[in-house]
């Protein structure tokens, strides 16, 4: 009824770099939660990129005389661990590791999941059956169990972690793309394009892929959070990062023996994980609410 | 005007069409075929992956075994034959229900898994129960009037809870309840005293007595499901509140309470039931971590243990067992769907 | 006519209402005054967005109080000021004294509750009776609604009932506590015309019998003419005219009401131009031009399309292995011929198979037996270029345009198939197409949602025209539009046919529109064509039983 013409960030992101990109439009639609989300996200990205310059100590080098220093004393911002290493610097290293790992795996997931989703959605046939069986397999089997097996087999390390996460956890993308693309392929404008003789690739890239783009942004953020959790869980179990590499999962595993003596060894990495995950969830929620607004402005 | 109702009716028709696919018979056979393909894929994949990972003969004989001992063990277990033949033999045994013997202890692999299974089912069941008991009323309360300040505050807290990974929760629980407050034990499992109920002379069922050791593991595991379930119930409820039949109910003079509990919630729970089904596989993944942290002797703990020692018959049996478990839970969810949604119920008849 | 006592049931005085939103407030009602007396049936007629539903919802205070603001006016229902009542007081009133009937019979009943629960709920809430008594009353009510098998309906879930049956249940619910006032918001808009006739007569009969006042909200003047004693005409949040139905329809005084009446195809000369709201509001003297231009189509009598014994089947039940075992015949042995430059209309109610048939002409689905011949050859043997001469325009201009594409890209998409034109060429072409369909060409960079429904339908027609088609399949092209917009689109279609010698395959459920636009007509009922012939002949002197029922069900502007 009301004629709100609110462009969505999801749509605007597509214009990034072009002359249509408009900060004013973004300011119009942003609510406080979205501003908080993107501020936190910017801070995280800043730390991840410029980590080396804000570390106060060498994250690997410990001072055994200064073991278990509580946070805020003797130059240790967040305290020190059982080997006298600086927790702040280790946390920054952990952030870099987690972000790099989740980002790479996520891009891989995005590519595999949306390709398979599109292919399966286009028309019924053998390809759809095979892809659905693959999804069913990955879905009805705890992802973590497969990951554990793979990591045990191939060994620990950054590449192993990224590849296993990247190749095995794309189901969420596939399911969403499949569901949305299936409905888009039934839309009348796609049918009209088909009747006019437009080729299947033009339809896919011209109508269907742009139609699922907003959802892809949303999943990317939420899935990023999921991958952060998976990565730290694997490290925690001793299956992700090699021992000694300062990652949040490893830090949590180390903290277990010193729970009474140095609770901050638990609190620092736990807080870091929660902050990162909540930030990504907030970003996902923000993008989702923006694209909902856009959807509504189209509907009226 | 008329178009909007057309769209609505299309939506419903689509749901019914999907529903006819999960009617009682067709889907069961389809799903069963899918399960068989799934089991085949998983066992095959695991067989070759685990063989690539290490030599079972080495595991059996130990690292300091002589080449002669190794050869003897290889011959005894048929490990000297080509990999394809080994695979064939393995699959033949599998079809007959023989999963082989544990390389670590020599017990039948499946038997070992099945003795560990009840402990996992116990915390998984408790975790689900806790999640449902908390999530449904809380989600209904949140979704009824989501714009109120108190609801927004609680939603915010749930949102942050959702961002706390289950294993971090487990560690925090241990820190708070076991280390700081010394209220609850953090490790191990007790069945309590086991009582038997005799039905017939030689048939009895063990009834475990609840023990304090159950609390932390099941609460931690519940954390994997509870926040997302709450959010889904809340979202579904607030969506149902916008439906036309709610307007009809209000125009008929229904009170707020009756609108929520009688009209909105039953519709909202249909979506939540689907989530419980799909999240069970995720919950089993959570069980692996939770059991490791609490040294809870279930199949998750066994999985870590046996993958690290390359006890591959046990890993295989575990994979098999988990896949079937997930299948059963999904089947139950679908049945409950049919029970909850009359549109599906009448399709089935 | 029943004698109407002077007792007022509803008195709305100078009511204004605005919707609050962060993007700016929207004035929905501007000083509306409404009066309904006991036993009176009053209509509010207006187009979408005119504020008629808001008026209705506000009588029961069903709008979210935090999102509206009422600067002026008072509402008194049954001598009580509802605006100042608490939610608890309102709950006693709703259902018992004032009841409401909604448009969507599909979604307005709770899908998980049986009919009995939904009716009994209301009875038990407002009356002090036992469960058993409630059951008796409910079944009696259903029987009063002329439901032949009330016991079965009573035990059913909503999805097990047809649309008309659901609406009967809704009416039964509304009458259950013998309210003083029933507000019916587009009660028959989603129903087929034969069902609509039954529901309307039922509503009228019950209301007159029980001396219940009815406020009927509708966009359809003919429905008002059939049902209402008095009518209010609403336009942009105001009542522009009010009075006895006969008087308003017979001799409208306000230009908007006149325009609304003029834009109806009913009673106008076939193929004549219809007056649009803009014509009438801007300049009344244009009427001369409007009514006299008669479009003559060339009479070549050349066959362009034939369907011979066409049948379409869909799988209905599946066996255990997922292969179909029984089929539902959507189209059964249909044979018809379409001549070049003519309009062939297919009339029928929802589910009769007309859309399936249309889709098979353009190739969106396949005939299971029989054949379609285009220009004398089986359409499957024609080259893709020839097949592109057949284009389709869908019902809903909302979903038939890609919401992310600018208009020029949408309109010229079919042209990108063969050559690789530059976007400059395409934009020029798009401007031409815009002119052809009566859009201003400076808007070609806009997105579809920036246009109104009628403009969007013009864009869809422009896209179909871009490949210079010979045959257009029009699938209910005007049924999602307001009547005045419908008139514009019908005018446009007639103009285009004249200009390009187009043939139309026109699908509709609206007899008046079909009568206006078509040369030949086929009436479809339960998958079969039951009657076919010259439009005037079939629609004025129907021979088949079903066509007769259909024609007598169509509400007309004649007030008995």
Cβ contact C472:C393 at 8 Å: yes
Report CB contact under 8 Å: C60, B248: no
Contacts of A298 in chain C (CB under 8 A): 403, 448-449
Tokens of C397: 């201009």
The verdict on B52 touching A (C-beta cutoff 8 Å) is yes
Residue C403's nearest CA partner among C443, C445, C448, C446 is C448
CATH of the domain at C246: 3.40.50.300
What's the mean per-residue pLDDT of chain B? 78
The verdict on B308 touching A (C-beta cutoff 8 Å) is yes
Residues 6+ apart with CB under 8 A from C510: C478, C479
pLDDT at B190: 62
Report CB contact under 8 Å: B164, A277: yes
Give me the residue spans of the domains in chain B.
Answer: 36-98, 113-166+215-345
Q: Per residue of chain C (560 residues), what is the pLDDT tens digit? A: 444 456 888 889 889 988 887 667 788 888 889 999 988 999 999 888 788 888 888 888 888 888 888 888 888 888 888 888 888 888 888 888 899 998 877 788 998 889 999 999 899 988 888 889 999 999 999 998 888 888 999 998 888 888 888 999 999 999 998 899 999 998 888 888 888 888 899 999 989 999 899 999 998 888 898 889 999 999 888 899 988 988 888 888 888 888 888 888 877 777 777 877 666 665 544 443 444 444 444 455 688 899 999 898 887 776 656 667 778 888 888 899 998 889 999 998 887 888 889 889 988 888 888 889 988 888 888 888 888 889 999 988 888 898 888 999 999 988 888 777 888 889 999 999 998 888 888 888 888 888 888 899 999 999 999 988 999 999 988 888 888 888 889 999 999 998 888 999 999 988 889 988 999 999 998 888 999 988 888 888 889 999 998 888 888 887 65
Residue from the list C103, C122, C125 with its beta carbon closest to the beta carbon of B5: C103
Report CB contact under 8 Å: C401, A4: no
Residue from the list C94, C125, C157 with its beta carbon closest to the beta carbon of B251: C94
Q: What is the DSSP letter of C297?
A: P
Q: What is the DSSP letter of C518?
A: -
Q: What gap in Å lies between CA C345 and CA C478, rounded to an integer? A: 14
**Interface A-C: count of C-beta contacts within 8 A:** 76
pLDDT at B336: 75
CATH 3.40.50.10470 is held by the domain B113-166+215-345: no
Give me the phi and psi of C415, to 5 degrees please.
-80, -20
| Nearest-Cα residue of chain B relative to residue A259 | B175
Which H or E run contains C69?
strand C68-69
Report CB contact under 8 Å: A198, C414: yes
**CA distances in angstroms from C365 to C331, C351, C361, C384, C436, listed in the order given:** 12, 16, 8, 16, 30
Stronger pLDDT, C128 or B103, i.e. the higher one:
C128
C100 part of a folded domain:
yes
Residue A59's nearest CA partner among A263, A228, A269, A231 is A269
Q: What is the DSSP letter of C384?
A: H
Q: What gap in Å lies between CA B106 and CA B110, rounded to an integer? A: 11
pLDDT at C253: 85
The verdict on B16 touching C (C-beta cutoff 8 Å) is yes
Contacts of C186 in chain B (CB under 8 A): 1
Contacts of C467 in chain A (CB under 8 A): 196
Interface of B with C in 114-173 (CB under 8 A): 147
State how far residue B33 is from chain C, nearest Cα, in angstroms: 11
The verdict on B190 touching C (C-beta cutoff 8 Å) is no
pLDDT at C462: 92
Q: What gap in Å lies between CA A62 and CA A83, rounded to an integer? A: 5
List the chains bordering chain A where 3 or more Cβ pairs fall under 8 Å: B, C
Contacts of C315 in chain A (CB under 8 A): none
Q: What gap in Å lies between CA C241 and CA C258, rounded to an integer? A: 10
Report CB contact under 8 Å: A192, C463: yes
List the chains bordering chain C where 3 or more Cβ pairs fall under 8 Å: A, B
Residue A11's nearest CA partner among A211, A278, A203 is A211
Residue from the list C28, C394, C404 with its beta carbon closest to the beta carbon of A188: C394
Report CB contact under 8 Å: A145, B284: yes
**Residue B310 burial by Cβ neighbours in a 10 Å radius (0-12, 13-18, 19+):** buried
Q: Number of folded domains in chain C?
A: 1
Q: What gap in Å lies between CA B319 and CA B317, rounded to an integer? A: 6
Segment among B99-113, B195-209, C168-182 with least mean pLDDT? B195-209
In sequence order, the β-bridge partners of residue C44 are C217, C232
Residue B17's nearest CA partner among C361, A138, A189, A183 is A183
Tokens of C267: 């009673």
The verdict on B319 touching A (C-beta cutoff 8 Å) is yes
| Nearest-Cα residue of chain C relative to residue B244 | C108
Q: What gap in Å lies between CA C312 and CA C357, rounded to an integer? A: 8
Residue A13 has pLDDT above 60, yes or no: no
> What one-character-per-residue DSSP string does A128-156 give?
HHHHHHHHHHHHSS-HHHHHHHHHHHH-S
Residue B2 has pLDDT above 50, yes or no: no
| Whole-prediction pTM | 0.82
State how far residue C532 is from chain A, nearest Cα, in angstroms: 28
Cβ contact B166:A230 at 8 Å: no
Domain span holding position C32: 8-262
Report CB contact under 8 Å: C48, B8: no
| Nearest-Cα residue of chain C relative to residue B343 | C159
**Interface B-C: count of C-beta contacts within 8 A:** 126
C527 part of a folded domain:
no
Give the SS3 label for residue C322: coil
pLDDT at A24: 57
B6-48 pLDDT per residue, tens: 333 333 333 333 333 344 455 567 777 888 888 888 888 888 8
| Nearest-Cα residue of chain A relative to residue B30 | A133
Q: What gap in Å lies between CA C154 and CA C165, rounded to an integer? A: 11
C153 part of a folded domain:
yes
Residue from the list C19, C404, C464 with its beta carbon closest to the beta carbon of A210: C404
State how far residue A116 is from chain C, nearest Cα, in angstroms: 23
Has the ipTM of the complex gone over 0.85? Answer: no
Residue from the list A225, A237, A260 with its beta carbon closest to the beta carbon of B289: A237
Report CB contact under 8 Å: C126, B250: no
C296 part of a folded domain:
no
State how far residue A231 is from chain B, nearest Cα, in angstroms: 11
Q: Domains in chain A, ordered, with CATH?
A: 5-13+30-47+80-299 (1.10.3720.10)
Residue C379's nearest CA partner among C392, C365, C361 is C361
Stronger pLDDT, B15 or A254, i.e. the higher one:
A254
| Nearest-Cα residue of chain C relative to residue A189 | C400
- The pLDDT confidence band at residue B194, using thresholds 50, 70 and 90, is low
pLDDT at B198: 55
C348 part of a folded domain:
no
Of all residues in chain A, what percent carry a pLDDT higher than 70?
Answer: 84
State how far residue C399 is from chain A, nearest Cα, in angstroms: 6
Cβ contact A224:A102 at 8 Å: yes
Residue from the list A4, A197, A199 with its beta carbon closest to the beta carbon of C23: A4
pLDDT at A276: 94
pLDDT at B346: 56
pLDDT at C56: 87
Residue C378 burial (CB count, 10 A): 12
Tokens of C149: 């098998």
C249 part of a folded domain:
yes
Segment among A15-19, A29-33, B90-94, B277-281 with least mean pLDDT? A15-19
State how far residue B259 is from chain A, nearest Cα, in angstroms: 26
The verdict on B25 touching C (C-beta cutoff 8 Å) is yes
Cβ contact C82:C75 at 8 Å: yes
C312 part of a folded domain:
no
C324 part of a folded domain:
no
Tokens of B58: 């080495």
Count of alpha carbons within 13 Å of C154, Cβ hemisphere only?
A: 18
Cβ contact B322:A137 at 8 Å: no
In sequence order, the β-bridge partners of residue C81 are C76
Q: What is the DSSP letter of C160?
A: G
Report CB contact under 8 Å: B310, A255: no
Q: What gap in Å lies between CA C138 and CA C65, rounded to an integer? A: 33
Mutate to test the interface with A, among C402, C405, C423, C464 (most CBs of A within 10 A): C402
Report CB contact under 8 Å: B3, C398: yes
Tokens of C472: 């257009």
Q: What gap in Å lies between CA B99 and CA C390, rounded to an integer? A: 64
Report CB contact under 8 Å: C396, A188: yes
Report CB contact under 8 Å: C219, B1: yes
Contacts of A150 in chain B (CB under 8 A): 49
Q: What gap in Å lies between CA B304 and CA B116, rounded to an integer? A: 13
Residues 6+ apart with CB under 8 A from C417: A196, A197, A198, A199
The verdict on B342 touching C (C-beta cutoff 8 Å) is yes
B117-166 pLDDT per residue, tens: 888 888 898 999 999 999 999 999 999 888 888 988 998 899 888 888 88
Q: What gap in Å lies between CA C459 and CA C452, rounded to an integer? A: 11
The verdict on B214 touching A (C-beta cutoff 8 Å) is no
Segment among A1-10, A290-299, C251-260, C440-449 with least mean pLDDT? A1-10
pLDDT at C6: 63
Stronger pLDDT, A27 or C141, i.e. the higher one:
C141
Q: What is the mean pLDDT of residues B255-261?
A: 87
Report CB contact under 8 Å: C401, A189: yes
Stronger pLDDT, A18 or A67, i.e. the higher one:
A67
Residue B274 has pLDDT above 80, yes or no: no
- What do you get for the CA distance between the two ends of chain B, in Å? 35
Cβ contact C314:C359 at 8 Å: no
User: Over chain B, what HEC string results?
Assistant: CHHHHHHHHHHHHHHHHHHHHCCCCHHHHHHHHHHHHHHHHHHHHHHHHHHHHCCHHHHHHCCCCCHHHHHHHHHHHCCCCCHHHHHHHHHHHHHCCCCCECCCCCCEHHHHHHHHHHHHHHHHHHHHHHHHHHHHHHHHHHHHCCCCHHHHHHHHHHHHHHCCCHHHHHHHHHHHHHHHCCCCCCCCCCCCCEEEEEEECCEEEEEECCCHHHHHHHHHHHHHHHHHHHHHHHHHHHHHHCCHHHHHHHHCCCCHHHHHHHHHHHHHHHHHHHHHHHHHHHHHHHHHHHHHHCCCCCHHHHHHHHHHCCCHHHHHHHHHHHHHHHHHHHHHHHHHHHHHCHHHHHHHC
pLDDT at B14: 36
């Amino acid at each position: 009824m009301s004629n709100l013409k609110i462009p969505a960030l999801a749509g605007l992101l597509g214009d990034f770099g072009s002359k249509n990109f408009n900060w004013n439009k973004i300011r119009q639609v942003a609510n406080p939660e979205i501003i908080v989300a993107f501020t936190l996200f910017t801070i995280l990205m800043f730390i991840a990129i410029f980590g080396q310059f804000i570390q106060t100590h060498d994250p690997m080098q410990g001072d055994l005389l200064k073991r278990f220093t509580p946070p805020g004393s003797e130059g240790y911002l967040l305290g020190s661990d059982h080997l006298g290493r600086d927790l702040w610097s280790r946390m920054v290293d952990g952030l870099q590791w987690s972000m790099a790992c989740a980002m790479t795996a996520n891009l891989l997931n995005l590519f595999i999941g949306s390709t398979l989703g599109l292919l399966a959605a286009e028309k019924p046939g053998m390809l759809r059956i095979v892809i659905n069986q693959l999804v069913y397999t990955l879905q009805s089997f705890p992802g973590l169990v497969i990951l554990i097996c793979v990591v045990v087999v191939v060994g620990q390390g950054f590449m192993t972690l990224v590849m296993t996460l990247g190749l095995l956890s794309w189901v969420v993308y596939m399911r969403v793309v499949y569901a949305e693309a299936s409905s888009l392929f039934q839309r009348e404008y796609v049918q009209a394009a088909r009747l006019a003789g437009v080729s299947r690739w033009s339809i896919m890239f011209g109508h269907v892929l742009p139609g699922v783009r907003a959802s892809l942004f949303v999943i990317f953020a939420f899935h990023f959070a999921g991958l952060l959790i998976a990565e730290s869980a694997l490290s925690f179990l001793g299956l992700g990062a090699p021992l000694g590499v300062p990652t949040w999962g490893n830090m949590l595993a180390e903290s277990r023996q010193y729970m009474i003596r140095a609770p901050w060894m638990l609190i620092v990495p736990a807080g870091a994980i929660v902050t990162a995950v909540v930030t990504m969830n907030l970003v996902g929620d923000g993008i989702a609410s923006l694209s909902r607004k856009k959807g509504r402005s189209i509907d009226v | 005007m008329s178009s909007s109702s057309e769209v609505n009716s299309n939506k419903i028709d689509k749901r019914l069409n999907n529903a006819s696919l999960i009617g009682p018979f067709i889907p069961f056979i389809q799903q069963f075929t899918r399960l068989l393909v799934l089991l085949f894929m998983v066992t095959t994949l695991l067989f070759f992956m685990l063989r690539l990972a290490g030599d079972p003969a080495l595991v059996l004989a130990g690292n300091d075994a002589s080449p002669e001992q190794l050869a003897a063990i290889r011959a005894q277990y048929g490990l000297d034959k080509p990999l394809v033949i080994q695979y064939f033999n393995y699959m033949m045994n599998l079809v007959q229900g023989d999963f082989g013997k544990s390389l670590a202890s020599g017990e039948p692999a499946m038997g070992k898994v099945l003795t560990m299974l009840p402990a996992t089912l116990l915390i998984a069941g408790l975790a689900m129960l806790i999640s449902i008991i908390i999530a449904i009323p809380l989600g209904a309360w949140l979704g009824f009037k989501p714009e109120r300040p108190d609801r927004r505050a609680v939603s915010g807290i749930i949102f942050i809870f959702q961002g706390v990974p289950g294993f971090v929760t487990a560690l925090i629980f241990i820190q708070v309840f076991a280390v700081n407050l010394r209220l609850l034990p953090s490790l191990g499992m007790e069945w309590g005293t086991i009582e038997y109920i005799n039905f017939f002379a030689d048939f009895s069922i063990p009834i475990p007595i609840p023990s304090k050791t159950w609390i932390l593991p099941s609460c931690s595991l519940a954390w994997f499901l509870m926040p997302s379930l709450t959010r889904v119930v809340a979202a579904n409820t607030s969506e149902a509140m916008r439906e036309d039949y709610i307007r009809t109910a209000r125009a008929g003079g229904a009170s707020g309470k009756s609108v929520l509990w009688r009209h909105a919630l039953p519709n909202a729970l249909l979506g939540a039931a689907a989530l419980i089904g799909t999240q069970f596989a995720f919950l089993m993944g959570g069980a692996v971590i939770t059991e490791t942290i609490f040294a809870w002797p279930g199949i998750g703990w066994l999985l870590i243990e046996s993958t690290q020692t390359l006890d591959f018959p046990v890993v295989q049996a575990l994979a098999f067992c988990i896949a079937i478990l997930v299948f059963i839970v999904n089947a139950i969810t679908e049945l409950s769907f049919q029970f909850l949604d009359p549109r599906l119920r009448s399709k089935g008849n | 006519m029943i004698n109407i006592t002077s007792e007022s049931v509803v008195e709305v005085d100078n009511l204004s209402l605005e919707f609050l939103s962060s993007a700016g407030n929207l004035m929905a009602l501007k000083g509306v005054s409404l009066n309904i007396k006991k036993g009176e049936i009053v209509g509010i007629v207006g187009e979408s967005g005119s504020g008629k539903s808001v008026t209705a919802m506000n009588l029961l205070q069903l709008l979210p109080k935090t999102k509206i603001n009422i600067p002026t006016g008072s509402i008194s229902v049954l001598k009580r000021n509802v605006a100042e009542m608490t939610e608890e007081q309102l709950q006693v009133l709703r259902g018992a004294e004032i009841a409401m009937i909604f448009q969507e019979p599909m979604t307005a009943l709770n899908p998980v509750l049986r009919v009995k629960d939904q009716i009994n709920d209301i009875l038990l809430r407002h009356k002090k009776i036992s469960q058993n008594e409630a059951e008796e009353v409910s079944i009696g009510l259903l029987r009063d609604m002329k439901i032949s098998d009330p016991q079965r309906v009573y035990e059913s879930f909503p999805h097990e009932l047809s649309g008309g049956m659901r609406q009967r249940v809704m009416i039964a619910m509304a009458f259950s506590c013998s309210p003083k006032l029933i507000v019916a918001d587009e009660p028959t808009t989603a129903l087929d015309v034969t069902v609509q006739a039954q529901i309307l007569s039922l509503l009228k009969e019950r209301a007159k019998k029980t001396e219940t006042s009815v406020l009927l909200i509708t966009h359809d003047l003919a429905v008002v003419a059939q049902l209402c004693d008095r009518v209010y005409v609403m336009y942009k949040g105001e009542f522009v005219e009010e009075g006895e139905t006969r008087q308003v329809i017979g001799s409208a005084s306000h230009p908007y009401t006149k325009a609304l009446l003029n834009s109806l195809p009913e009673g106008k000369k076939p193929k004549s131009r219809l007056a649009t709201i803009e014509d009438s509001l801007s300049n009344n003297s244009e009427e001369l031009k409007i009514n006299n231009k008669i479009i003559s189509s060339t009479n070549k009598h050349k066959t362009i399309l034939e369907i011979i014994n066409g049948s379409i089947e869909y799988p209905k039940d599946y066996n255990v292995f997922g292969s179909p075992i029984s089929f539902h015949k959507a189209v059964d042995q249909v044979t018809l011929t379409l001549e070049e430059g003519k309009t062939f209309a297919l009339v029928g109610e929802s589910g009769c198979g007309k859309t399936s048939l249309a889709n098979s002409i353009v190739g969106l689905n396949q005939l299971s037996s029989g054949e379609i011949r285009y220009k004398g050859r089986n359409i499957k043997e024609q080259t893709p270029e020839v097949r592109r001469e057949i284009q389709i325009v869908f019902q809903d201009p909302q979903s038939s345009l890609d919401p992310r594409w600018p208009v020029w890209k949408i309109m010229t998409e079919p042209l990108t198939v063969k050559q690789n034109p530059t976007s400059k060429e395409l934009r020029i072409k798009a401007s031409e197409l815009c002119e052809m369909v009566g859009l201003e060409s400076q808007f070609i960079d806009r997105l579809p949602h920036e246009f109104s429904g009628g403009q969007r339908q013009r864009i869809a027609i422009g896209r179909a025209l871009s490949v210079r088609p010979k045959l257009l399949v029009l699938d209910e092209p005007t049924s999602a539009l307001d009547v005045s917009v419908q008139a514009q689109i019908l005018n446009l279609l007639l103009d285009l046919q004249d200009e390009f010698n187009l043939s139309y395959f026109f699908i509709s459920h609206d007899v008046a529109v079909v009568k206006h636009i078509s040369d030949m007509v086929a009436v479809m009922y339960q998958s079969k064509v039951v009657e076919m012939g010259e439009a005037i002949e079939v629609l004025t002197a129907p021979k088949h039983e079903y066509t007769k029922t259909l024609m007598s069900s169509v509400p007309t502007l004649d007030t008995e």
